[in-house]
Structure 1
Amino acid sequence: MAERNSGGRSRSRSGRKYGQKASQKVERAMHEMKRGQLKSGRSGKTVKNRKQAIAIGLSEARRAGGKVPRRGSSGSRSRRKK
Structure 2
Amino acid sequence: MTVALMWEARAVPGRGGDLLDWARSQDVPGTPLRRETFRAPGDRVLIITWWDAPYDAQLPELPEPPGELITRPVHRWRFESVASG
**TM-score w.r.t. length of structure 1:** 0.30
The structure whose residues are more often helix, as a share, is 1
Higher strand share goes to which structure?
2
**Relative contact order, CA 8 A, sep 6+: which one is greater?**
2
